[in-house]
């Protein structure tokens, strides 16, 4: 997850328990009972290293499979959805969750201004401020690949797919009060809980599932099946069991094995490919770029990132911090007549047809942002959970400026009139009690259009 500074991690294995070779040719799934070494890193988004584990924040749930065909990185979260569906917005989203560039303080104006202007965030915001927004450590939450991927079988037939990892420990969350207490008394609560559980032999595990959708079903789907702000209904696309993820080894050295671990959504073995999901397409490029900046151009030679179960043969050589034999004297150009790698036609990516159409940039902000959120609010949550959701939102939104509050409440009202009304009633109470607040606003609402000179400086 981009911006993840607060990290925990452990190692173990993935074991296949059900045959899915009719969908996927990847060797990681080739037979029941097969085990593949894995690493999983858990993280928060907005907090720096040393921040508390018990804050309300999405959790990164990144899985690295050390397969004999190379690394497979499934770089997910603890939610099946995300705030945005367009990678162009990803840097801005992260900036809005971080610190104000002038005060260097967390700024509710930034957070809620972005969310209120991008209504596609409603689904994830509602999930975040529900009880599941503060999981009880890392062992008691699910993991999701979130994106839509493609699986290819041995006959070249492709199908769309989503990945799920359901905790075998059961979902457990912390109350706002308990999370606040732990933030001051044991900010390393999640890290400690994971490390101690494994050290004591109480190894956590997750059951691994897929959902699948044919290309024909995708064509007729009622909404964009690659939209990261929505889920595939389980009733229509049920979970198919695949295997178990088990963590049974703690890192020997935190810096070497957790701080330096790097996940690239572009690391996919033959049989697993990206879909047209716009967010996934953007992450294919941005994550490796980040790692080259953070860890250096040879970060894949760091042992925890190295595809050690296969032989690397390519033309990417040299660069600072090269710690391998640099492929010795093998030719470093292609094609060559000597000992260089050869094309492997059976590993070629699947083809896809694109209908004749115009291609242009478009804004996807208005693609039904409320229907699934309405189901979440009215059908998934119980009455006491709805009440806590509204209280959690209002207690955070109250610190944003009033005009931002109004925009946010309007979005919640679009989901369901009761949803917006409850939050507004709580905000009215907070605003009446606020009095004179010790808040310095660095952003003020613009009441005039920017001048040509101001626009030139944007």
Q: Whose CA is closest to 49, among 3, 95, 102?
A: 3
Contacts of 208 (CB under 8 A, 6+ apart): 14, 163, 164, 165, 241, 242, 243, 244, 245
Task: Specify the pLDDT at position 2.
Answer: 45
pLDDT over threshold 70, residue 453: no
Q: How confident is the model at residue 262 (pLDDT cuts 50, 70, 90)?
A: very high
Could you give the CA distance from residue 242 to residue 360 in angstroms, rounded to a whole number?
39
Say if residues 230 and 223 touch (Cβ distance below 8 Å). Answer: yes
Task: Specify the pLDDT at position 1.
Answer: 40
The dihedral sign for the CA sequence 436, 441, 443, 444: positive
pLDDT over threshold 90, residue 444: no
Category of 364 on φ-ψ map: left (φ > 0), alpha (ψ -120 to 50) or beta: alpha
Instruction: Flag the least confident range among 143-147, 169-173, 301-305, 321-325.
Output: 321-325
Q: How confident is the model at residue 346 (pLDDT cuts 50, 70, 90)?
A: confident
Instruction: Flag the least confident range among 10-19, 237-246, 427-436, 443-452.
Output: 443-452
Q: Given the structure tokens 């010795």, which residue do they identify?
A: 328
CA 318 distance to own-chain centroid: 32
Instruction: Flag the least confident range among 54-68, 148-162, 303-317.
Output: 303-317
Task: Specify the pLDDT at position 449.
Answer: 65
Mean pLDDT (whole number) for 270-290: 94
Task: Specify the pLDDT at position 330.
Answer: 87
- Do the strands 70-77 and 240-249 form a parallel or antiparallel pair, or are they unpaired? unpaired
Q: What is the pLDDT of residues 128-182, one digit of tens each?
A: 999 999 999 999 999 999 999 999 999 999 999 999 999 999 999 999 999 999 9
CA 309 distance to own-chain centroid: 26
pLDDT over threshold 80, residue 127: yes
Say if residues 14 and 49 touch (Cβ distance below 8 Å). Answer: no
What does pTM read for this prediction? 0.93
Q: How confident is the model at residue 339 (pLDDT cuts 50, 70, 90)?
A: confident
pLDDT over threshold 50, residue 53: yes
pLDDT over threshold 70, residue 271: yes
Q: How confident is the model at residue 80 (pLDDT cuts 50, 70, 90)?
A: very high
Task: Specify the pLDDT at position 218.
Answer: 94
Q: What are phi and psi of 65, to 5 degrees?
A: -105, 120
Could you give the CA distance from residue 248 to residue 11 in angstroms, rounded to a whole number?
6
């Amino acid at each position: 997850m981009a911006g993840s500074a607060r990290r925990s991690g452990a190692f173990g294995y993935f074991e296949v328990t059900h045959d899915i070779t009719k969908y996927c040719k990847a060797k990681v799934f080739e037979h029941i009972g097969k085990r593949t070494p894995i690493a999983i890193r858990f993280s928060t988004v907005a907090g720096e290293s040393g921040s508390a584990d018990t804050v309300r924040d999405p959790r990164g749930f990144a899985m690295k499979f050390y397969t004999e065909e190379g690394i497979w990185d499934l770089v997910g979260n603890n939610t099946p959805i995300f705030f945005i569906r367009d990678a162009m917005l990803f840097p801005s989203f992260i900036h809005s969750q971080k610190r104000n560039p002038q005060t260097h303080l967390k700024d509710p104006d930034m957070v809620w201004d972005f969310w209120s202007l991008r209504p596609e965030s409603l689904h994830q915001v509602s999930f975040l401020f529900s009880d599941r927004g503060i999981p009880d450590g890392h062992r008691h939450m699910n993991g999701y690949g979130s994106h839509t991927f493609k699986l290819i079988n041995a006959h070249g037939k492709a199908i769309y797919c989503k990945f799920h990892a359901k905790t075998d420990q059961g979902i457990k969350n912390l109350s706002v009060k308990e999370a606040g207490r732990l933030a001051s008394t044991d900010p390393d609560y999640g890290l400690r809980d994971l490390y101690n559980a494994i050290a004591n032999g109480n190894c956590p595990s997750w059951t691994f599932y897929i959902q699948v959708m044919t290309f024909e079903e995708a064509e007729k789907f009622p909404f964009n099946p690659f939209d990261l702000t929505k889920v595939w209904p389980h009733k229509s696309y049920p979970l198919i069991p695949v295997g178990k993820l088990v963590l049974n080894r703690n890192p020997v050295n935190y810096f070497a094995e957790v701080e330096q671990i790097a996940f690239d959504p572009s690391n996919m073995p033959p049989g697993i490919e990206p879909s047209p999901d716009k967010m996934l397409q953007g992450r294919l490029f941005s994550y490796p770029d980040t790692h080259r900046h953070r860890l250096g151009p040879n970060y894949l030679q760091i042992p925890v990132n190295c595809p050690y179960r296969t032989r690397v043969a390519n033309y990417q050589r040299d660069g600072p911090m090269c710690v391998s034999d640099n492929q010795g004297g093998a030719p470093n150009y292609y094609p060559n007549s000597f000992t260089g790698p050869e094309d492997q036609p059976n590993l070629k990516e699947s083809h896809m047809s694109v209908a004749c159409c115009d291609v242009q940039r478009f804004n996807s902000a208005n693609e039904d942002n409320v229907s699934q959120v309405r189901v979440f609010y009215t059908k998934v949550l119980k009455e006491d959970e709805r009440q806590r959701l509204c209280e959690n939102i209002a207690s955070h939104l109250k610190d944003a400026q009033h005009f931002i509050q109004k925009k946010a409440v309007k979005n919640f009202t679009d989901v369901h009139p009761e949803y917006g009304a409850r939050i507004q009633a709580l905000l009215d109470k907070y605003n009446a009690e606020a009095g004179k607040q010790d808040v310095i606003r660095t952003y003020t609402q613009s009441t005039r259009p920017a001048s040509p000179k101001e626009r030139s400086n944007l």
